[in-house]
Amino acid sequence: MLRNKCSALFLSVALCNQRRFGSGVFHSREFYAATKEVPQTPGGRNPYELLEMPITKTTTLDEISKQRRELVQKYHPDAQGGSTEKMAEINAAHQIIKEHHSGVLRRFKDVEQSAKANDAYRQHRDSRQHRDDNLGRSGGVNRRNVRAMNEQQTKATSPPRTQKEIETQWETFRTETENSVASMCRRYEFAVDQGRFFRKSAMLNEITVRERWLRKSFIKGIWEDVHEMRGELLRRGARNAQQSQLAEEMVAFAGVMLRKLNDDFARLTQLCVHNQSRMYAERAVFILIFFYLVVRFLKWATVGFFNGSLTVRFRAAMLGY
């Protein structure tokens, strides 16, 4: 009984939608975007919706004419359920479609290409965000983070790790982090030297901004990894002096790496600012010297041409000076 009532309710809703929207033929978003500029019929309807057929970018005028002939037979005034108003509206819709169908097909292709471009941009944006997150966490160097290592080991072994395993991972993490920090310091110093050698102030600004972001993300990743290992170490139940000492060593190591990166960044950034100031001063001096030489050349050329002119020679010959 309940199933029959639900079926009747769904049928009534479908009939209402069909009366409201026409034949009930589904149209895509591309269809509505491509036909929004097409003139409406005298009844205020989209002429394509009166065809009671799905419209795609490959629909031809021959298919539309064939569908129109079927609708004429269906809604002819002499046929059952036909009317003169319906026939007139179908004929008007067919006339509008013949005049604007080529433009609709072009807009179909434009809308489809735009949709593909938007999808590609969203995929690129998401993948770029993921790459930037990984790049910032690694500090721009080849380095695995502790969280990924823990997830891999958790999948392989479900039991909690022993203190020896945590200590081994900590030694590996500390060695890799020290090497990464040293590599980042050398990289920034080399980049500053290159920017100074090529005399590119814009390059120095870009390098400084990028390095600041990389180091900030790298330090954040260090603290996350340290808290991950420290929390796993302290959640082992009964603590001993060795566990507490190792936990304090982890926090102290993260603080040392933070200070080392910040001090190195401040030193090299100050050097970068000094190099930029020197570049600006040298450019200003060069511009002043250039303008001075130009003025001197113009003055020399003007005076030389005037002294060699006929006016000066005539004055010297006639007046004696």
Task: Count how many residues are written for the chain.
Answer: 321
Q: Give the contacts of 132 (CB within 8 A, at least 6 positions apart).
A: none
d(CA 59, CA 96): 15
pLDDT of residue 287: 92
pLDDT of residue 94: 82
pLDDT of residue 18: 41
| Residue 310 CA: distances (Å) to CA of 21, 185, 298, 300, 307 | 95, 71, 20, 18, 9
pLDDT of residue 117: 66
CB-CB contact of 143 with 180 (8 Å) = yes
CB-CB contact of 148 with 171 (8 Å) = no
Q: Give the contacts of 218 (CB within 8 A, at least 6 positions apart).
A: 136, 137, 138, 139, 140, 180, 184, 261
Q: Which amino acid is at 153?
A: Q
DSSP secondary structure letter of residue 78: T
pLDDT of residue 14: 40
pLDDT of residue 123: 63
Backbone conformation region of residue 320, classed left if phi is above 0, alpha if psi is from -120 to 50, else beta: left
What is the chain's pLDDT, residue by residue, as a tens digit (321 residues)? 444 444 444 344 343 444 333 445 556 677 777 777 788 788 788 887 777 777 777 788 888 888 888 887 787 777 777 777 877 888 888 888 888 788 888 887 777 777 766 666 566 555 555 555 555 555 555 554 445 555 555 444 456 677 788 888 888 888 888 888 888 888 888 888 877 777 777 777 788 888 888 888 888 888 888 888 888 877 765 567 788 888 888 889 989 988 998 898 888 888 888 887 888 888 899 999 999 999 988 888 777 666 666 666 666 666 655
Q: Which amino acid is at 198?
A: F
For the whole model, what pTM was predicted?
0.43
CATH of domain 163-288: 1.10.132
pLDDT of residue 310: 60
d(CA 13, CA 17): 6
pLDDT of residue 289: 94
Kindly tell me the number of DSSP H helices and DSSP E strands found in the chain.
9, 0
| Residue 170 CA: distances (Å) to CA of 221, 238, 248 | 15, 20, 12
d(CA 221, CA 145): 8
pLDDT of residue 291: 93
CB-CB contact of 143 with 217 (8 Å) = no
Q: Give the contacts of 85 (CB within 8 A, at least 6 positions apart).
A: 43
The C-alpha angle with vertex 237 and arms to 236 and 242, in degrees rounded to 5, equals 70
Domain boundaries, the chain: 21-125, 163-288
> Phi first, then psi: what are they for 101, rounded to 5°?
-70, -40
